Chain A
């Protein structure tokens, strides 16, 4: 139903950010990308967007292990933001720690837990699920 246009990537790994953007172009997912290296930067960035009355991201891909403010802390802070529309939120992490898998159940705003490495194939599947529904 909805078209994913603006994608926000929160990850401190520049190679991943570089790679995933190229993949997204390839599968035609999104046309505007925001990149933040940690949760704190991301919250600031989103606040700025709201202040400027910009269109907020349709999809947020957040890593878990990051300095300053990690993925979980970002989700807590993001949850507290008064937003009119709720974007899709994916956790994209290389963590396979069972604790993390358990913890994600407490975050209903998270739609997917995607394990790194991300592949074109996986991205295509996700697009097919969320872009059409």
Chain B
């Protein structure tokens, strides 16, 4: 080993000094490649010298990062050629644990051979991993800042107070929507601000910054070259030096979207506020304890309390005592999470003591963790509807009662009238039997006729009462054709007398559901009407037929008689009142009775008629299948 320049004593001393530091050392014989490391050199990468064994220059290249080896070789070359006074580079060495250790590697040729070539080099290793990591972090931070600025649309700017020109970052340019990289004179820069308030403020703020060193932070509007208005936040920071402003720099942020959203939100809030305040129904925010937190005008006027009064009350205080339990148990279901809303009809008590009927709809508002915050109640005043309902119920009760009384009355009247009129006719019979000479008096037949009419009327009245009293027997299956035949038989005299032709197409096996006595009376009634209201101008023809219509068997009785002016009498045809007074347009109490009987059998009657052409009555009987 050559010892040129290698003073062992000094070497020893150095080693002692180095031991107290954290510096690794190396000595390299450039000709032989022999390399000597100290313990610290090996320790930096997790080894002992013993573990490294015999070392030479390859030991270094074995541990160094490939990329860094290139850098190191270049630096070394420069130094060996005498182009740099020292060798220096930063390189990564592979630690025993697998991670990279950053090393600041410095060295210098310390001896030369006879030919003047470098023979020995000595150098040191300093662990700079921590510094390098911080550097990397900083680099990342700078990158991050740049990115976040671009996301947040924050640009920077600076005014050179000597030239009075501004320098803008690319984001600032972007916000102004200008291209290129030219700097703007401060005067031109200010002209971007919207004329009026925005421009006035920026001029004032800039002056104050330059002259008084006052920083500013303003939200203003600019107008881009295309005429687009946008909101920006301009922050200016003056840098003062001995009371004199050297430069002004600051930030420039695009807050257009944010500002617009903010304004929109404010608008929406205002609109919602208006909706809340002026909604026609009552709306309230109610605390979990039942206290009114906020109420709208409608609710106040509904209940007669002012907002202030209500805010010191609980909803329970003004709930009808009979409705409290029901309401409160629903509230508990909301609180327990069993339901999110409920609706109920309940009564409130107005300040003046009146009962207010309302439909209450309550929903619970929960925070993001699902905990109840408050209730939102909508209260619709239905007092008017409710009162109307109660009034209707009342009227219904009265009507029912009246109806019962009326029926009773009708029974009594008809009974008593029957007794008396019965006596009349009996006495008239007796006169005929015992005093026949009296019948020759002109008044006698009139009296007799009147009595008979009265008797008939009372009989009808009785029948009406009987039908309407609901004391009718159950419906049974009847053979319609036989009933029609029977009615024709009963009317045989008239049919012959007026030469009436009956065209009967009713199938023999037509079955209906009905009450025999009613069906008898109905068919007889309509047939006799058809004969009675025949036309004197033509031979009377009556057509009888049946057809099916849903659940009904419909019996048509069509005549070619006088017809009825339906526009005149349509709604009176089946009425009772008019017929009792001999209205010529009506057809006797019979139609009224028949209609009632059909109703009682769950059937109905319809009619079509043309004056001087004829009338068709359609009688709807329930089908047998029912």
A contact set with B: CB distance below 8 Å: 13, 15-16, 19-20, 22-23, 26, 65, 94-99, 116-120
CB distance from B454 to the nearest CB of A (A): 11
B455 CB contacts on chain A under 8 angstroms: 117
Additional A-B contacts beyond A116-B422, A117-B422 (4; CB < 8 A): A22-B433, A23-B429, A23-B430, A119-B425
Chain B: minimal CB distance from A109 (Å): 24
The answer to whether B411 touches A19 (Cβ under 8 A) is no
Residues in B whose Cβ lies below 8 Å from that of A117: 421-426, 455
Given A19-B430, A65-B415, A120-B433, are A98 and B423 neighbors across the interface (CB < 8 Å)?
A: no
Out of B414, B426, B430, B471, name the residue touching A98 (CB < 8 Å). B471
How far in angstroms is the closest Cβ of chain A from B8? 148
Which of these, B415, B427, B472, contacts A94 with CB under 8 Å? B415
With both chains docked as a complex, state the minimum distance between the C-beta of B117 and any C-beta of chain A, in angstroms: 148
Residue B537 interfacial (CB < 8 Å) = no
User: Please, which residues of chain A bring their CB within 8 A of the CB of B424?
Assistant: 117
* Given known contacts A13-B423, A16-B423, A98-B471, A116 and B430 CB-to-CB distance under 8 angstroms: no
Contact A15 B433 (CB under 8 A): no
- B interface, size bucket: 20 to 34
Chain B nearest Cβ from A35, distance in angstroms: 16
Report A-chain residues with C-beta under 8 Å of the C-beta of B114: none
B474 within 8 A of A: no
CA distance A97 to B469 in the complex (A): 10
Q: Is B419 an interface residue (CB 8 A)?
A: yes
- Whether B419 and A16, one on each chain, are in contact in the complex, defined by CB atoms closer than 8 angstroms, is yes
Given known A-B contacts A96-B462, A98-B466, A98-B471, A119 and B415 have beta carbons under 8 A apart: no
Among B418, B421, B427, B472, the residue within 8 A (CB) of A19 is B427
CB A76 to nearest CB in B, in angstroms, measures 21
B433-484 at interface with A (beta carbon < 8 Å): 433-434, 455, 462, 466, 469, 471-472
Q: B69 → chain A, closest Cβ, in Å?
A: 126
CB pair A22 B434 closer than 8 Å: yes
Q: Which of B415, B433, B455 has its CB near the most chain A CB atoms (within 10 A)?
A: B415
Residues from chain A with Cβ under 8 Å of B472 in the complex: 98
Contacts of A13 in B (CB 8 A): 419, 423
Which residues of A are found within 8 Å of B425, using beta-carbon distances?
A: 117, 119
A-B contact pairs, 18 of them (CB 8 A): A16-B419, A19-B427, A19-B429, A23-B426, A26-B433, A96-B462, A96-B466, A97-B415, A97-B466, A98-B469, A98-B471, A116-B418, A116-B419, A117-B422, A117-B423, A118-B422, A118-B426, A120-B429
- Rounded to whole Å, the gap between the CB of A18 and the closest CB of chain B is 9
- 8 nearest A-B pairs in the assembled complex, by CB-CB distance: A117-B422, A94-B418, A116-B422, A19-B426, A15-B423, A94-B419, A98-B471, A117-B425
Cβ-defined contact, A119 with B423, below 8 A: no
Which single residue of chain B is at the shortest CB-CB distance from A116?
B422
